[in-house]
Amino acid sequence: MLMEQTGSAHILVVEDDDSLRGVLRDFLSLMGYQISEARDISSYREQASSQDIDLTLVDLNLPDGDGLALVRELTSQSDAPVFVVSGRCDESSRLQALEAGADDYLIKPFNARELEYRIRNFLRRQRQRSGAETKEERGGIAVGNWQLFTGQYRLTSTNGEVINLTRSERDLLQVLVEAQGNLCTRRQLARAISSPTETTSEETVTVLIYRLRRKLEQSGLSSDVIETVTGAGYRLSQGA
């Protein structure tokens, strides 16, 4: 039953604390996941180069490099989700991790069962969206000359160009698109993209908007597609 729930997902745990890494390995294995381990960035690269990974757990404090830099590397190279697990409990660290592309952020110490719930729910939603996308490719939402498919974490242009998005970026952009040019306040956006186990802050929305605009600019799509309504929130450009 557990194997059916998790789909035998392969998780790579990047954590330098041997004790915690062992706890995560044993618990997640018991819950039906395939687990690989890395205690630093070097061993992560050895593991990742030879395996298909469905989700990566990353500690920010690694002995041979910056965990945030690793998150950026991971999200720039793959659509596979990245969860940060860190002892840093300040808002700045959380926002930096989200800006780097992390899909979730858990603060140590944490409950292993809560982590597994988050992983399971995230991967289930990902499978459901992918399944819906496979059944109907007509489900794309227009963003300018690009298409946003709800089952994918990317924008795709008519000539095949791709803008890769994180889960949070995709969810935020979808809310703006579905508002059809109407104003979305930061509070509304924060509530819309919050999960049952974690509340998204208005500051996080600001970071996600900045990150989305930067990706749009780098891909040749005007950042003005997302308009700022001073003191109120954001809306999608009427010309989009």
Residue 133 clears pLDDT 60, i.e. is over it? no
Extract the tokens encoding 149: 């498919």
**Considering only CA atoms, which of 158, 165, 100 is closest in space to residue 126?**
165
Characterize the bridge pairing of strands 184-185 and 10-14: unpaired
Q: Binning pLDDT at 50, 70 and 90, where does residue 196 land?
A: low
Over residues 79-85, the mean pLDDT reads: 90
Question: Given a cut of 70, is residue 232 above it in pLDDT?
Answer: yes
Cα distance between residue 129 and residue 191, in whole Å: 20
Taken in order of first residue, the domains within the chain and their CATH numbers are 2-127 (3.40.50.2300), 138-236 (1.10.10.10)
Q: Which of 127-131, 197-201, 210-214 has the lowest mean pLDDT?
A: 127-131
Q: What is the pLDDT of residue 199?
A: 67
| DSSP for 179-224, written as a single string | TTT--EEHHHHHHHH-BTTBPPPHHHHHHHHHHHHHHHHHTTS-GG
Nearest partner of 93 among 129, 66, 116, judged by Cα:
66
Query: Distance between CA 47 and CA 41 in Å, rounded?
Result: 10
- State pLDDT tens for residues 151-184: 667 788 877 788 888 778 888 888 888 888 899 9
Residue 230 has pLDDT above 50, yes or no: yes
Percent of the chain whose pLDDT exceeds 90: 34
Half-sphere exposure of 32 (CA within 13 A, CB side): 13
Q: How confident is the model at residue 82 (pLDDT cuts 50, 70, 90)?
A: very high
Residue 223: is its pLDDT beyond 80? no
Residues 6+ apart with CB under 8 A from 59: 14, 15, 16, 17, 67, 84, 85, 86
Reported confidence tier of residue 137, pLDDT bands at 50, 70, 90: very low
> What pLDDT is recorded for position 238?
66
Q: Please tell me which residue, 230 or 222, carries the higher pLDDT value.
A: 230
* 7-41 residue pLDDT tens: 579 999 999 999 999 999 999 999 999 999 999 99
Rounded to an integer, the average pLDDT of 39-60 is 90
